[in-house]
Amino acid sequence: SLSFPPLVFLPSSSSSSAMNEYMEELLNTMLLLFRVFVSVVVGSLKAFLPWGILPRKSVKDQICLITGAGSGIGRLMAIEFAKLGCKMVLWDVNTTGNEETKAMLSKEGVEVHTYTVDVSKREQINENSSRVEEEVGNVDILINNAGVVTGRNLMDSPDELIERTMAVNASACLFTAKNFVKSMIARNHGHVVTIASIAGKVGGAGLVDYCASKFAAVGFHESLVAELRHLKADGINTTLVMPYLIQTGMFDGFQNKSAGLISNLDPQYVVDCVMEAVLTNKEELIMPKILYGLSVLNFLPSEAKMILFEYLGQLDGMDHFKGRKPIST
């Protein structure tokens, strides 16, 4: 007859305490896997359910601060949050654009406060953060939206533009959070929204500094989530937004070579998706939805990724980049 050696990971039957420890560990492992499974199911449902299915929270009378509110999706988000009864705090380096946004909201009787802030400079972030808390109050919803793009090959990018890209797209998230999240933790209430980019998950030629800054923004957000969880600040919600190219003029000249598969995004559509995500406390938003499958790329060899990137236009899509014309402040 065949005989098998005892399984080395099982305790001896003579040791009841060891058996109890083993069963307890097994039960804890099964519970962990069940929690992960439930989280995956809930996250997937939030990602793919149509708008209007999930209950929305009220943000009436809450203070909402948006960086880069003078144009693009920053302005559109300001309009939408104002419609919901938020008190708006608008930051932008472009005073004219910021005041135009304010005028649009003020016509509807919304309480609006504008600040000219260059978020590439931490001194201005710190100074104006203090002003906001003194003049308006504690921020409830912080939306880090301001962004810039150089749009050149790394070797052709001026040092000052590289530094500005990293400062606006990444470092500003750190300093705004450091200033405003403290009061959220004290009240165990708030919502932090990071408008990153799918470029924070996938690199592209002509976008080295931009992708580096967006990877940093994604890393900032995920680490902040971990820190808030460690602090047991369960009343603070977070939403990480990673869209594909948005048709705001920021990426004028970019050639989307896979438009049949991944389409450029209409700004209002993006804002509608962001509003749904924030109001339903969705933790992560990727647009278009087909890009949720990008996580599979992490498991592919580098050469396989490059083949796909070339097909998707990640290698030469920026060859004819023009970008948005500089705006005087």
Active-site residue numbers? Answer: 210
Q: Is 172 exposed, middle or buried (0-12, 13-18, 19+ CB in 10 A)?
A: buried
DSSP state of 255: -
Name 237's bridge partners.
191
**Who's near 210: CB < 8 A, 6+ residues apart?**
149, 150, 151, 165, 169, 197, 199
Are the C-beta atoms of residues 196 and 303 closer than 8 Å to each other? Answer: no
**Who's near 310: CB < 8 A, 6+ residues apart?**
none
Residue among 153, 152, 312 at smallest CA distance from 244: 312
| Pairing, β 141-144 against β 112-116 | unpaired
